[in-house]
Structure 1
Amino acid sequence: MPANPPAASPPESKRVMLATDLIPLGERALRGILDHVIAVGDEAETTYLEVKSSLDLGSRAGVAKIAKFLLGAANRRPHEAVRHFHGYAVLVIGAQKSSAPGVPRGVEAHELEDRLRPYLGPQFPAFEFGRIGIDAKNEVLFVIAQPPVEGQTIFPCHKSFQGDHRRDSLDDGAIYVRGASNTRPARAGEVLALVERSRGGGKPPIDLDVDIRGSIGRVDRLDEVLGRLYDFEEEKFAKRREPEQSSFASTSALLASSIPGGGRPPTAEERAERLEVWRSRKPTHIAQGRAHFIGVGLDGVGIEIVSRDRFIAKPQLIVTFHNCEAFDFLESDDTDYEKLVKPILRRRDLFGIDLAQDALQLTPPAYPVSWRNQGGDVEVVLTPESLRPNIPWTSDRDDYVILARDPQASAVSATWLLTEDGSDGITRGELQVTTADLIDAADLFKATFSPDR
């Protein structure tokens, strides 16, 4: 007899129990579901959970099976669905009892959505995907259906598919529902129940919490300090000698750009011409220097949104900060004195390229944050893919910086409005945002541009 005999398998009732009082989103929740499937295999299948050990996601048959699950999940009754996973339903692809072989990596969510859409139709609710890597080539894929709600229409199949087995086929116009462990055509009573669901008064009203993450900045004497810096640049150019050693001037002199070395010095006529061009563009230079100063000197701002007890598909939230202005957020490594004060004579690298040339700012096409200065206000537009019930969605704090136009304002007002895809309704709200402590522009200059910062 071996020294350490293997433990006997526990009775079925003692095996891994699946916690269904959580929302099945995020790696921790999905790993719990995967562990349960590996422990019990097909016995894990219920009205809210389906398992496929393997599926060719590039084939029509594989796509049709996913579509059938989603149709059945969308045609559940809300009061029954909410008992598990807060109403969500999950299809696990690439797992079975005792193992998780996975499916090949590389399945793009948007490509799979495009293949599913002909079966689901244009008004079908949003759904999500999750992944857990198995090895370098394979992963377990999770298709997550949203909770059904009262007032939703019935979701029929929009395209036929004939599989090798009748149970795998789809019929155009058929209504599918989730049974105890499979998806099947609806019976008469189930169709009538879905008709009642569609009469349930529509979606519940939107209850939204909007909070600001970060601070609205306040800077005193900003125009005065910028004006002094530009005056110093012109004086230095004209006198070609060190300025008076005031504390402010010494800091400016320390950080000011050097006159380019090497090559023929500019003639007096060339110097006069360059000075005249610089003066003519001075308002533009100061505006650009101001944006750089605030972008590197102040902290960024983000917005947190929480939808209370309701899923919102493809929302658009517009937040307006009144009597404020916004600038691109810049990292401290982007600090450049020549972008703060445009030099009259600029340094160039070996190839003649302007060292102070602004870097090209690229934003991904589907990025969910945009902003603009509109009149005397800042308008921020957020377009997340969805808002999940009671789960915060927060924008990053490295997109923009907001400055109060009135340095003495201890708070600024903000208003917001939300629209939802497929709905004409508008939800509105307002809030007061406390501003940051007032900082003098000279102190901010020293803190930001000092070599010892």
Structure 2
Amino acid sequence: MPNLPPSDGSDTRTPALDTTVIPLGERALRGVLDHVVAVGDEAETTYLEVKSFLDMNSKATAAKIAKFLLGAANRRPAEAARYFHGYALLVIGAQKGVAPGVPRGTEAHELEDRLRPYLGPQFPAFEFGRIGIDSANEVLFVIAQPPEDGQTIFPCHKSYQGDDRRDSIEDGAIYVRGTSNTRPARSGEVLALVERVRRGGKPPIDLEVRLLGPICRVDRVDEILESLRGYEEEQFTKQPTVDGDTFALTSFRLASSVLGGREPMSAEEREQALSAWRSKKAKHLAQGREYFLGVGMPGAGVQVVSRDRFVAKPHLILTFHNCEILDYLDPNNADFEKMIEPVLRPHDPFPSSFDYSTIRLLPRDYPVSWNNHGEDAEVTLTPESFRPNVSWMSNQDDYVIIARDPQASTVEVSWKLTEDGNDAVTSGDLRVPTEPLIDAADLLEAVFPNTD
């Protein structure tokens, strides 16, 4: 919980609200929360609204939040830019002297679904922030993006009649932010919004894109895997077999069932197992190669900065030409048998046909996806937004990128960006140096240091 003023009145200073910052991230939001706790409703302005408590699952709450967002979207750009770089905030769960919060569990996508009927399909992106109060409660922040010249007027798309007339909103009404509340627009404010539309479209997108992490080069991977596979076959063929004596074979199998472990096999059974293993060579080698490189090579990511421009719901595709992309795997969990399939795996009394360790769990609406497209590798980024002059970075434990040509000193990377509600396509390209060439034998020693 934020620091509260002493109850004995010995310190009456009010924490100043720094409106020169972009109100995103925990540090900036804590500053806003401290200010709200210090002054309560007096904190409300054209760019800040406060609700001490809201039932986050009710229709009334959805209407109240939608009304705030509509008013924030219909501000004049020049006036809005004076504070918080044009952003506006709704703080939920705080009042003067205390920040009890609201119950945890509000999912951003679920709230967006409830707001969308009021806002309409073309409404700008908005963001959510949270500050935990305790194990059960949190303060929520609804953050409206800066308005821009050229934007349309945003009317309400659905009516709601609340018990309190002030909470009602009307289909087709235009709402604006007053000095401390959201209200229907007056004639002069509507004309100002018309002028905002006439002042032209958004400025062009100026995007800086750079790779985080390496583009790797590896040599002799197939040769090393073939050698290891040959060694596996050699070791299997050296193992003793049980003679065809029926009594001896039955006795061995009975002992195995009692003591646990794999049943001994006859020469014919071993040959059948080896034949089945050999028939899957191509599949095993492909899977083993993918696992070996995924667990052995460092991951990569992408950093994006949009210069002086908010990009709403971007869709950015990066193409790494003549490269291969593979899932990054944790080297601490390296498993040799996932790289070189054994002829026979250790006996499991309850075998499963599915390897659950291969499941990669990603959060809902994860903003990064990757795949191979022909001879190229593609990475697609779909974050909520690119904020002006704020670096956006993807994680470096999603994928690894391998140059298909081991001798390539650089790789060409091209990208294309589209924005929600904007038909324009922005593109660019860059050349990225590759890492020094690694011999697969050295990589094997690094990943499996005890392999002989």
TM-score by length of 2: 0.88
Matched residues in 2 for 1:440 and 1:389: separation? 43
In structure 2, the partner of 1:206 is 205
**Displacement of 1:293:** 1.0
Q: Please give the per-residue CA displacement for 1:24-67, whole angstroms capped at 9, x wherever unaligned.
A: 11111111111111111221111111112233333333322222
1:301 to 2:297 alignment: no
Matched residues in 2 for 1:195 and 1:34: separation? 35
Gaps of 5+ in 1: 242-260
- Contact in 2 for aligned 1:321/1:414 (Cα 8 Å): yes
Aligned CA distance change for structure 1 residues 166 and 441 (closer, same or farther; 3 Å): same
**Displacement of 1:78:** 0.7
In structure 1, the partner of 2:110 is 111
Matched ranges for 1:216-227 at <5 A: 216-227=215-226
In structure 1, the partner of 2:283 is 284
Matched residues in 1 for 2:112 and 2:356: separation? 42
1:82 to 2:81 alignment: yes
Aligned partner letter, 1:234 = E
In structure 2, the partner of 1:53 is 52
In structure 2, the partner of 1:66 is 65
**Displacement of 1:138:** 2.8
Instruction: Tell me the matched-pair count.
Output: 428
Aligned partner letter, 2:202 = K
Q: Please give the per-residue CA displacement for 1:75-126, whole angstroms capped at 9, x wherever unaligned.
A: 0011110110010001112222222232233333223222222221121111
Aligned partner letter, 1:344 = V
In structure 1, the partner of 2:22 is 23
**Displacement of 1:424:** 1.8
In structure 2, the partner of 1:195 is 194
1:94 to 2:88 alignment: no
For 1:424, what is the secondary structure of its paired residue?
strand
Q: Please give the per-residue CA displacement for 1:224-270, whole angstroms capped at 9, x wherever unaligned.
A: 222222222233334459xxxxxxxxxxxxxxxxxxx9554322222
Q: Please give the per-residue CA displacement for 1:293-342, whole angstroms capped at 9, x wherever unaligned.
A: 11111111111112222222221111111111122211113312222222
Aligned partner letter, 1:111 = E
Matched residues in 1 for 2:281 and 2:103: separation? 59
Aligned partner letter, 1:330 = L
In structure 1, the partner of 2:269 is 270
Aligned partner letter, 1:378 = A
**Displacement of 1:353:** 5.1
- Contact in 1 for aligned 2:445/2:451 (Cα 8 Å): no
- Contact in 2 for aligned 1:349/1:355 (Cα 8 Å): no
Matched residues in 2 for 1:357 and 1:109: separation? 29
Matched residues in 1 for 2:370 and 2:355: separation? 25
Gaps of 5+ in 2: 1-6, 241-259
- Contact in 2 for aligned 1:348/1:354 (Cα 8 Å): no
TM-score by length of 1: 0.88
For 2:423, what is the secondary structure of its paired residue?
coil
Of residues 344-353 and 120-129 in structure 1, the stretch that sits farther from structure 2 once superposed is 344-353
Matched residues in 2 for 1:61 and 1:139: separation? 20
Matched ranges for 1:99-248 at <5 A: 99-240=98-239
Aligned CA distance change for structure 1 residues 9 and 272 (closer, same or farther; 3 Å): closer
The percent of aligned pairs where both chains have the same amino acid is 66
- Contact in 2 for aligned 1:348/1:355 (Cα 8 Å): no
In structure 2, the partner of 1:244 is none
For 1:425, what is the secondary structure of its paired residue?
strand
Matched residues in 1 for 2:115 and 2:77: separation? 23
**Displacement of 1:408:** 1.5
**Displacement of 1:155:** 0.5
**Displacement of 1:172:** 1.7
In structure 2, the partner of 1:329 is 328
